[in-house]
Structure 1
Amino acid sequence: MKSSSLAAAAVAVALLLSVCVNGFDDQVSATKPLVKTVKGKKLCDKGWECKGWSQYCCNLTITDFFQTYQFEELFSNRNAPVAHAVGFWDFQSFILAAALFEPLGFGTTGGKLMQMKELAAFLGHVGSKTSCGYGVATGGPLAWGLCYNREMSPMQSYCDDFYKYTYPCSPGAEYYGRGALPIYWNYNYGAAGEALKVDLLNHPEYIEQNATLAFQAAIWRWMTPIKKSQPSAHEAFVGTWKPTKNDTLSKRFPGFGTTMNVLYGDQVCGQGDIDAMNNIVSHYQYYLDLMGVGREEAGPHEVLTCAEQLAFNPTTQASS
C-alpha cells in the first residue's frame, strides 16, 4: 500500500471534517467526479470520498449504495443502554475512514454487487468481533455489532519483547484489544500506527478514543496482507488474488472463507464447522440480507467458510 496515496487521502478527509459537522448526507451526494485518461486508462477523482486519480474512483463509491439508515439497521443496538460503547460508533466515522481507502479499491472494486458484498463482508467481521449479542438478546444475537470498542477484562498487557527493537513496548501502555477489528499486541499497534501515521505504539488508547481512527485501523488490516507473499482479505474477497497450486491443495479459494483465514488463521479455520467460524459467517449473511443483496449471493460452503482450509500462517506450539 503506498503511503503517498494514504497521505493524499488523509488530507482530503481532514478537509471534509471542516464541512461535515451538519448535513452529512447532503455533502456526500453533492460531489461530481473529475475524469482524465492516462496511457489509455480512465482515472477519476471524486473529491473528499475518493481522492487521488484512481481507476477505482470511476466506480460507485460507498455513499452511492450505503446510507445512514442502512448503517443504523446493521448496528441497531449499538447505542442500547446495555451496550459498552454507547455513542462511540457512527456512520460518519465509518465513511470518513473508508474515504482513505476507497482510491485503493475498498468498496470500489468491481460492479455494484461486488462492492456491496465486500462492504457486507468487512462489516460482517466487524460485527462479529464487537458483538455482545447472545441467543435471547433483543433482536437476536446478530443485531448487536459495535457493542464494544475495547476488550473489557484483559488478562495481560500484550507486550511481546521479541519486537523490542522494532516495536518496543511503551512504559505503561497496554496493547489489549481495541477497535472495530480489535488490535492486539505491540507489534500490531506499531504496524498500524506506521501506516496511518499515528503514534499508536506509545498511545494505543487512541483507538478507543476516536471512532474514525478505529475504523481506519480495521480497514487498513482488511486491505493489507499479513505477509507480502499472501493476499490481503480484500484481495482474497474481490478475486484479484490468484491462488497458487499450494493454495488450491490447501483448499484456499477467493471468497469470504479465505478472509477469515487471512485475519484469524487456524483460530477459526481448518477445524470444521465450529461456532467461532459460523458466528462470523452468520453476521456476513445477516448483513447481506439487510443490505438487500441476499445471503444466496454468499456462495457455496467451500467459498463461504474456511472449515477445511489450511492456515496461511499456522500457529506453532511455542507461540501458542
Structure 2
Amino acid sequence: MKFLALMVVLIFASALRASADISSLISQDMFNEMLKHRSDSNCAGKFYTYDAFIAAANSFGAFGTTGDDTTRKREIAAFLAQTSHETTGGWATAPDGPYAWGYCYVQEQGNPGDYCVPNQQWPCAPGKKYFGRGPIQISYNYNYGPAGEAIKADILNDPDLVAKDPTISFKTGLWFWMTPQSPKPSSHDVITGQWKPSAEDTAAGRVPGYGVITNIINGGIECGKGSNPQVEDRIGFYKRYCDILKVSYGDNLDCYNQRPFA
C-alpha cells in the first residue's frame, strides 16, 4: 500500500510539473514553424530561441498554465501573435505568407530617438536610449525601469541587455503581458477570461476577446477606427498560430468598434 501511495504522489507531481511547463503544449518544432523565417538572411530573429522563450515563460508561473488546454493554447498563440506583429518582417506577397515572418527584428527599425522622458522614479541613465527592443518592443525609460525591477535585470541602466540576452528579452515581453496598467487590464487576464468588463468598458464596446489585447497594446492608434491593416495583421498571426496549436480562435478578435482605453 505504501508503494502504491508513493506512486500516486509521484504521478500527481509529474502531472503538476507538466501543467506548469508550456513546453508540453508548444514544442520546439511548433515554435520553429510559427516563426518560420526569423533566421532568414534579412532578419535578426535567430536571436529569439525556443529555450529562451520557455525559460522566460516558466519565470511567469501563470503564463500558459491558467485554465484548460484551450485557454492555455490561446494564450500562447495570442502572445506570440501580438509580439510577431511588433517584430514582423513580412509583406503581403512574402514566401509562406506575411504571417510566417514574425520575430524578424530585435530592435526598432529606422532611426529611433532616445525615448527618454523626465521621470523621477525611473530616470534615464546618461547616454542611454530607450527605443523599442525585444518581442514587445519595450520603449521609454518608464517601462524599462519597472520591467527591469520585476525581472531582476538592470535594463534601466543597460537597456541594450534586451537586445543581447534572449531570455531577458522574452521576459520584458511577458512582463508587459502579465502586468495590468490601470485602467487597462493585463493581456493575460483578458485571454484567460479573468477580466470582466466594467460598465464603462461595455459602453466603449470593449468586450472579452483577443481584440481587447490589441486595444491594450496600441488602441490609441489602431482601435475604434474600423477595419485597418494593423489590426488585420495581428489577427492573421493569431489565427495562424491557433491553427498550428490546433485550437479554436474564440470570439471578438478585432477592436474595430472599441474605443481606446483612457
TM-score normalised to the size of structure 2?
Answer: 0.91
Q: CA distance change for structure 1 residues 174 and 32 in 2, over 3 Å: closer, same or farther?
A: farther
> Which amino acid letter does the alignment assign opposite residue 75 of structure 1?
L
Q: Does the CA-based 8 Å contact 1:125-1:284 persist in structure 2?
A: yes
Q: Deviations over 1:240-290 (max 9, x none)?
A: 111111111111111101111112121111111111111111110111112
Following superposition, the deviation at residue 126 of structure 1 comes to: 1.2
Select the residue among 129, 134, 141 that pairs with 2:91.
134
Percent identical among aligned pairs is 36
Following superposition, the deviation at residue 33 of structure 1 comes to: 5.7
Residue matched to 2:3: none
1:182 aligns with 2:131: no
Q: CA distance change for structure 1 residues 32 and 123 in 2, over 3 Å: closer, same or farther?
A: farther
1:201 aligns with 2:159: no
1:226 aligns with 2:205: no
Residue matched to 2:238: 284
SS at match of 2:46: coil
Select the residue among 77, 92, 99 that pairs with 2:51.
92
Structure 1 gap ranges (5+): 1-30, 36-43, 47-56, 314-320
Following superposition, the deviation at residue 45 of structure 1 comes to: 6.0
Matches within 5 A, 1:1-320: 34=13, 46=17, 59=19, 61-83=21-43, 85-101=44-60, 103=61, 105-161=62-118, 163=119, 165-227=120-182, 229-293=183-247, 297-300=248-251, 303-313=252-262
Q: Does the CA-based 8 Å contact 2:66-2:72 persist in structure 1?
A: yes
Higher RCO (C-alpha under 8 Å, 6+ residues apart): 2
Residue matched to 1:10: none
Distance 2:222 2:176 in 1: 17
The CA RMSD measured in Å over matched residues stands at 1.8
Q: Deviations over 1:113-141 (max 9, x none)?
A: 11111110110001111111112222111
> Which amino acid letter does the alignment assign opposite residue 203 of structure 1?
D
Structure 2 gap ranges (5+): 1-9
> Which amino acid letter does the alignment assign opposite residue 84 of structure 2?
G
TM-score normalised to the size of structure 1?
Answer: 0.75
